[in-house]
Chains A and B, each alone.
Chain A
């Protein structure tokens, strides 16, 4: 069993490091700093930490103004409130003007767990991906989150980073590289490719190991950058393995699965199976129960792989 780290914990630590390295880094939160982990930054840099209270729209607007004034703001809340409640502020005050603000949204997806469907964002990647100028990242684990947060800080422009609440298996190594717009091939294979994001990458690696025992050779490509998407890597996987299974802790509409299908339809059509929430909201339960209920386990990925290989 690999080490387990919540991506939000990696964010909190990395944000604190960035704060120590650069006095222009500031943080904002909307009364969830203990959960999003921006409180770590706030404790060490109270003069550079701004809690909007339960007022996400103003948090995003203040972040825009801080960026216009030369700061590098990181604004955090749960994904459902960032991409949902503050959508139009992100559109008008961040994306449209290309404002240098990083929206780091924690508690994405169903692994929020017990809080239930009202708090489980299953559409944030789709919404954010539709915005021009927006960069959308969804790291797989703690080490990649640290690297992605640093890449976002170095990028001049708006970035949306989706993180999770639960501890997830470590896939990458500490100090790993992260480049916006570049994916990573984590396992080679010839019969099909899992193209995955977020915590589903660890699930796909497990599924690939199970498939190997059935003599099905599955490649695993992780896309931590949903937008821009690594189009070349996706097309290469389609050409070389001839079948794709996408997997995300998100609706199958408009997120990773949607993005990959757009690329494949135009560039190299092959059979695709999309694993994700089938146009439904989540509900209360443990993360494990919900992943099983909504079909996001290695066993479900194995089934999807078997289906897609038959369609070749």
Chain B
């Protein structure tokens, strides 16, 4: 169990990162709002509590690694990397701009702290599997984390990778599913029902946990429990709300790939207690 003050500090960080996400998306006037806000609590716990990493030495060999398989949530990742100190917070204003190191989707060759290139859905998990194998081959204790979207798991490659992760007994791999229930065209269940996901991953021989993806304490506990089952990869199904933290964005597929307008930004920041 985390101390209450640790939980409160992480909650404050997540709130601040929501502000950064909304500001950068508004400035860019382009990008994915809903899925960045649903993922940010999980990312906050990973970057500011769980993972061993060193922003002053992004290529540290023994670092834990994070793969944002749902690459369109790049604003959430960039907000974490800036906050951690991989680059200046001022850079966030250049999101998606010509010449910026902050591309529309994560680019390992442009942005310090980004581990692989993602954005074409379904491909990040396979790369995370490869990283987990490499970590074991090199005799490192580093763990590999990856965040999936629930629309993303409609990709066949996800299931190829899920099969391989269990087959190779990758207990150093922890995958978190940002289960907000929405994708661009609407509700995941209606667009193409891929559920029930817990039983599916269990059937693929994964260790499966389920948590409230906005409960910092619960996320921490799940991440700690992830390594407990030897010889199996772990899936944490994080029940989340698309657009979480800004009431008029919540539960709306229409804010999947739409940035906040100037007016929406003002109202959103007010709601987050930041004006």
B-binding residues in A (CB < 8 A): 26, 47-48, 50, 52-53, 55, 57-58, 60-71, 73, 88-89, 92-93, 96-98
Contacts and interface: CB of A to CB of B under 8 A. Distances in A.
Q: B107, B127, B157 — which one has the most chain A CB atoms within 10 A of its CB?
A: B127
B201 to A, nearest CB: 16
B74 interface: no
A68 B115 contact: yes
Contacts of B161: 58, 61-62
B157 A98 contact: no
Contacts of B128: 65
B253 interface: no
Contact of B123 (A55, A70, A93): A93
Given A97-B107, A97-B116, A68 B127 contact: yes
Nearest to B162: A58
B126 A68 contact: no
B131 A65 contact: yes
A43 B116 CA distance: 31
B218 interface: no
Contact of B156 (A57, A93, A96): A57
A70 B134 contact: yes
A44 B129 CA distance: 23
Given A66-B130, A89-B157, A97-B117, A52 B164 contact: yes
A69 B115 CA distance: 9
A55 B160 contact: yes
B122 to A, nearest CB: 8
Interface string B1-19: 0000000000000000000
Given A50-B168, A55-B164, A65 B126 contact: yes
Q: B67, B128, B137, B163 — which one has the most chain A CB atoms within 10 A of its CB?
A: B137
9 contacts: A55-B163, A55-B164, A58-B129, A58-B164, A61-B129, A64-B127, A65-B128, A66-B133, A98-B109
Contacts of B160: 52-53, 55, 57-58
Given A62-B127, A89-B157, A50 B133 contact: yes
B272 interface: no
B127 A93 contact: yes
A198 to B, nearest CB: 30
Contacts of A89: 123, 126, 157
A57 B126 contact: yes
Contacts of B163: 53, 55, 58
Contacts of A70: 61, 134, 138
Contact of A69 (B120, B134, B168): B134
Nearest to B121: A92
A96 B117 contact: yes
Given A50-B168, A55-B164, A57-B157, A69 B126 contact: no
A153 B45 CA distance: 39
A144 B93 CA distance: 51
Nearest to A55: B160
Nearest to B124: A61
A207 B128 CA distance: 51
Contact of B130 (A57, A64, A96, A97): A64
Nearest to B168: A50
10 smallest beta-carbon distances between A and B, as pairs: A65-B130, A61-B126, A69-B134, A58-B160, A65-B127, A55-B160, A62-B130, A97-B117, A66-B130, A65-B131
Contacts of A96: 117
A47 B132 contact: no
Contacts of A69: 130-131, 133-135, 137-138
Contacts of B122: 57
Given A58-B163, A68-B130, 9 more contacts: A53-B164, A61-B157, A65-B130, A68-B116, A69-B133, A69-B138, A92-B117, A92-B120, A96-B117
Contacts of B138: 69-70
A67 B161 CA distance: 16
A96 B138 CA distance: 25
Contacts of A60: 126
B131 A92 contact: no
Nearest to A58: B160
A62 B126 contact: yes
A68 B131 contact: yes
Contacts of A67: 130
A66 B164 CA distance: 14
B158 to A, nearest CB: 9
B227 interface: no
Contacts of A64: 116, 123, 126-127, 130
Contacts of A66: 130-131, 133-134, 137
A73 B134 CA distance: 10
Contacts of A57: 122-123, 126, 156-157, 160
A53 B130 CA distance: 15
Contacts of A58: 126, 129, 157, 160-161, 163-164
